[in-house]
Structure 1
Amino acid sequence: MENVVHLDPAPAVFEAMLEGWRRQQSARFLKASTITPRLRLVRRMERFTGLYPWQWAPADGEAFIDDMRGGQLPIVSSTARSYEVTISLFVEFLLDSRYGWVRVCEERFGDTPQQVFHEGNSVLHKLDYEGDPRRRPLTYDEVQALFDAADARPGVIAAQGRKGALCAARDAAVLKTVYAFGLRRREASQLDMVDLRRNRAAPQFGEFGNVMVRYGKAPKGSPPKRRTVLLVPEMDWLLDTLRDWVGEIRPRFEPGSHPALWVTERVGRLSPRSINEAFVAAREDAGLDPSLDLHCLRHSYITHLTEFGYPARFVQEQAGHAYGSTTAIYMGVSNEYRNKLLERALKGRLGEDWE
């Protein structure tokens, strides 16, 4: 690094810094989907300030975040914090004496990197959950309306003489499966036929007693988490849907030896984005709140399992959460459910004549 002479060394050093940081993160087995946006953000900071990292000061970081809070799509506090953390991680890499960047910058440019975000100019993390408050579980009626709209789409498309009726039938089956097993969209996308399994404790469900989720959400630097999600009796209406999909609809796509449970008309794996688009189409047809998104079906699943009376630990295992506090964030039980709990508690304390 020191033996190479550049006519304009600053851009070359900056690129070398980014490449070094990329390798460091790759060595930790972070995914490209994590590394690439981080590198892009650092480049964005460099373009915004017109300065290189060894020239950045706290005022530059503050101006960068302030600029992104304006405009047509202002960032929210959780996004600002993630940006601040990413830039701070990059600067920590530069300041680490094991990599020698402080010495390089001082010798070549007479300046050294410094942290631009600190306790006095960073977004504080005070709450466990900072998501969009409009994101919530669907009510039972809303779930039914969503599925009714999804079921109606194939007939509407066929009546109009358009292509896509078969794909619409698939989309309806996907959405029902996402809800009935509480899946994330990537988990649903990555399901293979072999992931549909029997549950010896519930032989009445046949080959659909549980699903093996092999691509669960992973902690950074770790492989995908695996879990088995059991089909609960309250969701046994899904059996007819899965039987129709596996036995009747999927073969019409002529998937051959393709392993995916959900296939496209071009015999590929249905993408998470396509599953999300299927939800949006059904949501609009059903006239539901446009703030609801696909992940709300997972919120609904966790909430409804709780209202069905399943123990908190069971619900946590079904959802694949490491901590019960995470599962609790997803819950939005109804007033009716809470009133039943209150009634049960009053009866237990005051007897049957409490009214």
Structure 2
Amino acid sequence: MKEAIDNFLTYLRVEKGFSENTIAAYRNDLNQLTSFIKEEAARRGSIPPWSSFDRQAMLNYLLDLRQRNYAATTVARKVAASRSFFSFMVAEGIIKTNPIEEVHSPKIGRSLPKPISISKVRLLLEQPEKLSAPEAKRDRAMLELLYASGMRVSELVSLNVADVDLAGGFVRCLGKGGKERVIPIHEGAVLAVKEYIDKNRPRLTHNDEQALFLNRRGDRLTRQGLWQILKGYVKSANLEDKVTPHTLRHSFATHMLSGGADLRSVQELLGHANIATTQVYTHLTSEHIRRTYEKSHPRAK
């Protein structure tokens, strides 16, 4: 069983160009499916081959997930991972048919992104200025760059120093599927990154590490490290909103559209393959317009 999963993950990495984070999610979901099959098999005394896994077995697995109170979104993701895995095995000739082709994912409503207001973004970005440690200048540069570019957190922590062109005012990053895009950044973000690179990054580096953002050991900062840093600043800013690193990406998109940017340009900046993914932000700007209208129009009061 493990060999089949490893071959599938290699296919996702090499042929589909999926990121390591996506592959890790697939691995976790498929390992959980394997554990369930082994637990069921233990009652019968033998572990069956993948070829014997059928629709009823998948329905039993879904029932087990529901009994464990998994959210509908999580169950839907696990079904999608399993469907892709079995489709791969059909293509490889390991099994004849996909046993879960007719198994439907739970219906889930599309949740809207939750941005924060421009004033709250400004307050959050001001927090590192209150500290004098070298890490504070790094943090200011990170937060400024996140909001200026709308990058995903994984894209930000993957940046090398050479990926930022301060003179040209742009950053080059690799998005999902290894697709490169060039994003312009405003002067304020350029100055914050320049100050960090020139004055503070040398105090953090201890080797030839090429990563733009470093931790205290001089190694590349991780997504988890950035998350912990952000939580500290959210707390010091007394923001009651639930703010995650992705919140600044949502806020970037919403504020750009509210400011008059066209949808296609925002799609390119965010690196969305499908414009429908970007369109979700138009719902937020429409709601803002509706609230403004109801507050301002004399007949709407």
* Larger Rg computed on CA atoms: 1
Asked if residue 182 in structure 1 is aligned to residue 150 in structure 2, the reply is yes
Post-superposition Cα deviations, 1:86-118, rounded to whole Å, max 9, x if no partner, equal 22334445555x63556xxxxxxxxxx871x35
Selected match of 1:226 from 180, 204, 211 = 180
Residue by residue, what CA displacement relative to the aligned partner does 1:180-234 show, whole Å, maximum 9, x if unpaired?
A: 1111111111222222225xxxxxxxx2611111x2122xxxxx111111124xx
The 5 Å alignment of 1:1-355 reads: 14-15=1-2, 17-18=4-5, 21=8, 25=12, 28-29=15-16, 31=18, 33=21, 34=23, 36-50=27-41, 52=48, 53-71=50-68, 74-95=69-90, 99=93, 115=99, 117-119=100-102, 121-123=103-105, 130-131=110-111, 133=112, 135-152=113-130, 154=131, 165-197=133-165, 207=167, 209-213=169-173, 215-218=174-177, 224-232=178-186, 236-254=187-205, 257-289=208-240, 291-331=242-282, 332-333=284-285, 337=289
Change (3 A) 1:262 1:62: same
Q: CA deviation at 1:15?
A: 4.7
**Partners of 1:195 and 1:209 in 2: CA distance:** 11
Q: TM-score, normalised by structure 1?
A: 0.68
> How many residues are aligned here?
285
CA 306–23 in structure 1, closer or farther in 2 if over 3 Å, else same: closer
Aligned amino acid, residue 169 of structure 2: G
| Partner of residue 44, structure 2 | none
| Contact 1:258/1:267 (8 A) holds in 2 | yes
Post-superposition shift, 1:140? Answer: 1.2
Rounded Cα–Cα distance in structure 1 between residues aligned with 2:240 and 2:119: 13
Q: State how far apart, in whole Å, the 1-side matches of 2:83 and 2:146 are.
A: 37
Structure 2 gap segments, 5+ residues each = 42-46
d(CA) in 2 for partners of 1:320, 1:20: 28
Cα drift, residue 150 of structure 1 = 3.5
**1:75/1:288 CA distance change after superposition, 3 Å:** farther
Moved over 6 A (4+): 339-342
Deviation of the 1:337 alpha carbon? 4.6
Q: For 1:229, what is the secondary structure of its paired residue?
A: strand
What's the TM-score, normalizing by structure 2?
Answer: 0.79
One-letter code aligned to 1:122: H
Show CA shifts across 1:276-321 (max 9, x none): 2221221122222353211010010011111222222222222222
The one-letter amino acid paired with 1:212 is: R
Alignment RMSD: 3.3
> What fraction of aligned residue pairs are identical, expressed as a percent?
21
Contact conserved, 2:205 with 2:218, CA < 8 A, in 1? yes
